[in-house]
């Protein structure tokens, strides 16, 4: 139902051909934002159907590693990360709306966002114009927030409230996607840390029993199989999340460099831009930590004393070296901790192209 509602509001926004929606960029923003939300809901629905299988495989790994070292701060780290990212969820720009409004014979641009403070300020402006709360809410919903919907349907308070709930839901889903990827990455990384701790312990005590080393290797193999399942389930979500985040980063940099935002709008835009960068950094840092932990395990195995080195250790090293654990976005790109630097270079190159095209179009006009 929520997916259908998002699709309906997206179609209404894109299909609005009034003077309030004549900007190609604005309609593109609508298309990207609503399409991303709809596709994410479809992906999450499909993931929910397959979730029992996923949890079953994870449970099998937990059972095989129940006697390993258990990180005591995992739950606290998961809660802290989730709370932080979701706290800043509503400090993000969801779309750039241009509200066409006649005021003393000229057009005035209105920057629309889902930021709680800006939402409060807009509602406060409406209440200054209309002292009655009902009229204030009508002005807020009809003329400020959801003119794209109420330009094709009659206004009613319940429609405005539904639109507001869906708006919050879309923002939450957008932010929760990065939270979901980050939390899965943190939990799986701690599984690798458990294997690394066991390998380190076996090397320190100079364990030479090949059966014990086989058990350690089989634990790693079960983790490798679990990783393949994780990458298969999350690759579509990762691709969609990165594409949407990069689009809105490009959009915000474009507004900043072209000077279309001034005053508090520019301050908010800079803060919002920084928060999106923080969110992407979290995903890249934790999602790219697998390969680092695997390299540490390989180095530990290679440092084993020759007196305890055996066939199982050799097979362990071979398997770890040949089967790298790197999350991908449908195999289009790999999530590594250096990905942010590569993305920054690409974003600046694309931004310069966009600005040159815009300046060229302005001169022609």
Contact 188, 230 (CB under 8 A): yes
| Degrees, nearest 5: CA angle 92-173-185 | 95
Which whole-number Å values give the CA distances from 130 to 112, 150, 164, 186, 212, in the listed order? 20, 19, 20, 50, 76
Q: Band the pLDDT of 248: cuts 50, 70, 90.
A: confident
32, part of any domain: yes
Q: What pLDDT is recorded for position 320?
A: 92
Residue 188 has pLDDT above 60, yes or no: yes
Contact 192, 231 (CB under 8 A): no
Using DSSP bridges, classify how beta strands 106-107 and 102-103 pair: parallel, antiparallel or unpaired: antiparallel
Q: Band the pLDDT of 297: cuts 50, 70, 90.
A: very high
351, part of any domain: yes
* Residue 107 β-bridge partners: 102
Contact 254, 354 (CB under 8 A): yes
Q: Measure the CA–CA gap between 58 and 290, rounded to whole angstroms.
A: 16
Number of domains in the chain: 1
Q: What pLDDT is recorded for position 229?
A: 92
326, part of any domain: yes
42, part of any domain: yes
31, part of any domain: yes
Q: Measure the CA–CA gap between 85 and 178, rounded to whole angstroms.
A: 8
Contact 297, 195 (CB under 8 A): yes
Task: Note down the domain range covering 204.
Answer: 2-93+103-364
98, part of any domain: no
Contact 54, 229 (CB under 8 A): yes
> At residue 107, what are phi and psi to the nearest 5 degrees?
-90, 145
Contact 347, 294 (CB under 8 A): no
Q: What pLDDT is recorded for position 122?
A: 61
User: Residues 90-147: pLDDT tens digits?
Assistant: 544 333 333 333 333 333 333 333 345 555 556 666 666 666 677 677 777 766 666 6
Which range, of 96-110, 133-147, 204-218, 341-355, averages the lowest pLDDT?
A: 96-110
Task: Quote the mean pLDDT of the chain.
Answer: 76
User: Residues 313-335: pLDDT tens digits?
Assistant: 999 999 999 888 999 998 888 99
User: Residues 25-67: pLDDT tens digits?
Assistant: 666 766 777 787 788 888 888 988 989 989 999 999 988 888 8
């Amino acid at each position: 139902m929520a997916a259908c509602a998002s699709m309906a509001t997206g179609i209404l926004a894109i299909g609005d051909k009034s003077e309030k929606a004549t900007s190609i960029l604005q309609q593109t923003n609508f298309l990207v934002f609503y399409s991303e939300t709809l596709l994410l809901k479809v992906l999450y629905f499909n993931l929910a159907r397959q979730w029992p299988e996923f949890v079953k495989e994870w449970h099998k790994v937990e059972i095989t590693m129940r006697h390993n070292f258990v990180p005591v701060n995992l739950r606290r780290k998961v809660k802290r990360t989730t709370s932080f990212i979701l706290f800043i969820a509503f400090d993000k720009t969801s779309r750039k709306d241009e509200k066409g409004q006649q005021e003393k014979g000229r057009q005035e641009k209105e920057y629309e966002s889902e930021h709680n403070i800006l939402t409060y300020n807009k509602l406060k402006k409406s209440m200054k114009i209309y002292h009655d709360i009902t009229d204030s809410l009508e002005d807020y919903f009809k003329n400020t927030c959801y003119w794209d919907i109420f330009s094709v349907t009659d206004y009613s308070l319940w429609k405005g409230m539904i639109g507001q709930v869906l708006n919050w839901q879309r923002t939450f889903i957008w932010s929760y996607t990065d939270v979901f990827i980050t939390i899965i990455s943190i939990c799986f990384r701690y599984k690798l840390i458990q294997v690394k701790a066991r390998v380190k312990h076996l090397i320190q005590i100079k364990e030479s029993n090949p059966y014990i080393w086989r058990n350690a290797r089989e634990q790693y193999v079960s983790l490798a199989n679990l990783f393949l399942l994780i990458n298969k389930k999350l690759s579509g979500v990762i691709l969609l999340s990165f594409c949407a985040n990069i689009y809105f980063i490009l959009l915000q940099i474009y507004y900043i460099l072209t000077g279309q935002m001034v005053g508090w709008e520019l301050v908010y835009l800079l803060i919002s831009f920084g928060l999106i960068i923080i969110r992407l950094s979290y995903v890249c840092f934790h999602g790219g930590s697998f390969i680092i932990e695997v390299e540490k395990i390989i180095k530990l195995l290679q440092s084993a004393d020759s007196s305890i080195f055996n066939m199982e250790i050799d097979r362990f090293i071979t398997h770890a070296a040949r089967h790298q654990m790197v999350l991908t976005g449908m195999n289009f790109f790999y999530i590594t901790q250096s990905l942010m630097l590569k993305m920054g270079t690409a974003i600046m190159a694309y931004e310069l192209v966009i600005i040159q095209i815009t300046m060229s179009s302005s001169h022609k006009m």
